[in-house]
Chains A and B, each alone.
Chain A
């Protein structure tokens, strides 16, 4: 399961980053996202290309290609 397979409104825990670039994962840490973070998918935008998520108290958007590299486990 990756973040890209989540459905709107669902919640999940991030279990792994696969093949994310160093700088991108660093950026994720900066905004407070890492393995173990609880994500909620708020919406899928731009015809399925952009994932609008909420983690802790931060709302942000990431692209599909990166969402596919973030493994999750639904809760």
Chain B
């Protein structure tokens, strides 16, 4: 048997999923949708559980939510498990109604019963039966209470009495008309559900209907909407449906939720002192910056870098020599092609990814912690003030800050932004945040050309990145994304003590995401790069300046003349930097021989222009790969890359030409 787990965001769905399945879930794909599908097998049997993304409504407002309609229509299943947060019953039941209307066997699990008692309320499960005859289980997922009853209950899941909420004459008439247009089918789903969803404006139901009927149904929807508005029943059809549901929910709430005897009910919802502090427009931002500084110190200085250095040492001293001697023992020639491609391409590439892993896991852990406690929502609140001016959403702050560490997890972190276009906009400016891999480039050049004001120049570059990012966001908002309005409805979740197990799960699944995507691209890129460097028109093992890489650099060099660094050395190190930005430093050092070589190649102004370009131009290959993975669109990814290059070119051009005029 297969069941689908459906519920609102932040109701403990992941906790219940983990409790029901243990840790055996695997990620699958919905065809045509970018959201991952998580499937696990329920403990103690052969039943499977599919985890659907948290959603407020079956009718989709975001990509995540579209999956729910898709799954209800196309997935094969024997029933639903609807997880409901007992402390937010009024809102949660809207989704429950939509699921009940499908008239598929469904279990309602009421979660957070312990939290409800803390609020001084009690729940009358017997009375709920009068409204919702389905199998009902009271649980407390984080304490692991009631999980056994859920598993037992699944076995006897059935439809005792079909659920039907009366929407009033106008809408009921329309429902009946639409049902007649839906052809006979094998679906377990009630056709009434499809009719109601169509009336609610759920576009997701149309693809399964015959084309000839779709237009007729759309006409009925329009006609009904008109009647509702003219008859002053409600402001819209959606509103009329909503009102009926709300009425019903209020009845249910009145009947089932009672104050605990002797408990003084707190009538006024109000801000707690801690919330007042964290959402304070000035103190809130200061606290956030301090916290970010701590997370950064932890990720890089205190914990991440020492572990990373250890990794590097192990790889350099043990792993690489071991693989090398193994290959030699196979009879491969150390000067040979395969040996070079494996050692200098694959092994070096994989090593490069693994070395970054400790920092990324630590960073992900901290971010998961901020999300799980509910603090992230408060950050989005305080940052919205600054960001809204640039056409960004307060929720963009976390991805952008993460970008200072590494752009790859930063792009992944944009998933929390619900609007697709706002999300793409945020992704496009993330590469301007100077990631840690760019630091070696700055350090090298600043040490050679700007000995007196090293930290000033480096800080200036970071600042330049932020300014360019914000201005680009503004530019994109008034051009390509002009039509999309920035919307900000931020649900503020209550503070919660996070569960360590969930945090670890989340951290590792994000970490493995990173390895899968970034790893693929880095390994592939390393091999290609090694080939370019080693091969030339005259054959294998050519000197650097006769390799294909040098030729490519030579072709590109004239393009960079207006920026002040039109040499093949600079151009080819930028090409190499596409693989990983820190390689700009090492490759230019190798190509030029030594620091004196670099000194001869650039004037200080040219060097600065080169640094600005290195900061802003195409993000590294892994970032581009992740952009593609997250958008699943070649067009959008290409747009992002071109946008980055153009901005980098323009900014460097302006800086160099202005510099020439002034100096």
Contact = CB atoms under 8 A, between A and B. Distances in A.
Interface of A: 9, 16-17, 21, 23-32, 34-37, 40, 42-43, 45-47, 49-50, 52, 54, 56-63, 66
A74 to B, nearest CB: 16
Contact of B279 (A23, A37, A49, A52): A52
B269 interface: yes
Interface stretch (B82-90, B183-191, B360-368): B82-90
B407 to A, nearest CB: 28
B382 A36 contact: no
Contacts of B281: 45-47
Contact of A46 (B88, B382, B492): B382
A17 to B, nearest CB: 7
23 contacts: A16-B235, A21-B485, A25-B236, A25-B238, A26-B59, A27-B489, A32-B91, A34-B242, A36-B246, A40-B269, A42-B270, A45-B279, A45-B281, A45-B382, A47-B281, A49-B385, A49-B388, A54-B269, A57-B88, A60-B489, A61-B381, A62-B489, A66-B487
Given A23-B61, A57-B91, A63 B384 contact: yes
B238 A26 contact: yes
A61 B201 CA distance: 25
How large, as a class, is the contact surface on chain B? Answer: 35 or more
B276 interface: yes
Given A43-B276, A50-B381, A30 B268 contact: no
Contacts of B268: 9, 40
Given A29-B57, A35-B239, A63-B388, A52 B382 contact: no
Interface in B247-286: 268-271, 276, 279, 281
A26 B235 CA distance: 12
A71 B91 CA distance: 21
Given A63-B388, A66-B488, 8 more contacts: A25-B238, A26-B201, A42-B270, A56-B91, A59-B492, A62-B488, A62-B489, A66-B487
Contacts of A47: 281, 385
A61 B394 CA distance: 11
B94 interface: yes
A46 B381 contact: yes
B197 to A, nearest CB: 13
Interface centre among A25, A31, A35, A37 (most CB of B within 10 A): A31
A56 B166 CA distance: 23
B239 A42 contact: no
B556 interface: no
Contacts of A9: 268, 270
B56 interface: yes
Nearest to A59: B492
A19 to B, nearest CB: 12
Interface centre among A36, A42, A46, A47 (most CB of B within 10 A): A46
Contacts, number: 113
Nearest to B201: A26
Interface string B193-216: 000000001000000000000000
Nearest to B91: A32
B385 A36 contact: no
Contacts of A46: 281, 381-382, 384-385
A25 to B, nearest CB: 8
Contact of B271 (A30, A34, A36, A42): A42
A23 B487 contact: yes
B269 A42 contact: yes
Contacts of A23: 61, 487
Contacts of A37: 246
Contacts of B491: 31, 58-60
B149 interface: no
Interface string B328-348: 000000000000000000000
A57 B487 CA distance: 22
Contact of B89 (A26, A57, A60, A63): A57
A49 B381 CA distance: 10
B234 interface: yes
Nearest to A32: B91
Contact of B90 (A27, A35, A36, A57): A57
A23 B492 CA distance: 20
Lowest 5 CB-CB distances: which A-B pairs, in order?
A46-B385, A30-B56, A32-B91, A56-B90, A54-B269
B490 interface: yes
B91 A63 contact: no
Contacts of B385: 46-47, 49-50
A36 B153 CA distance: 38
Interface string B76-114: 000000000001111100100000000000000000000
Contacts of A17: 235
Contacts of A27: 61, 487, 489
A53 to B, nearest CB: 9
B657 interface: no
Contacts of A59: 269, 491-494
A47 B385 CA distance: 8
A40 B270 CA distance: 9
A61 B268 CA distance: 17
Nearest to B95: A30
Given A32-B90, A35-B235, A57-B91, A63 B243 contact: no
Nearest to B377: A61
A32 B271 contact: no
B243 to A, nearest CB: 7
A61 B243 contact: no
A10 to B, nearest CB: 11
A44 B271 CA distance: 11
A29 B239 contact: yes
Given A16-B235, A49-B385, A31 B56 contact: yes
Contacts of B235: 16-17, 35
Contact of A35 (B234, B271, B384, B487): B234
A61 B489 CA distance: 6
Contact of A30 (B61, B89, B246, B382): B61
A61 B56 contact: no
A45 B381 contact: yes
Nearest to A34: B242
A69 to B, nearest CB: 12
A32 B94 contact: yes
A58 to B, nearest CB: 5
Contacts of A42: 269-271
Contact of B91 (A26, A36, A40, A58): A58
Nearest to B119: A57
Contacts of A56: 90-91
B494 to A, nearest CB: 8
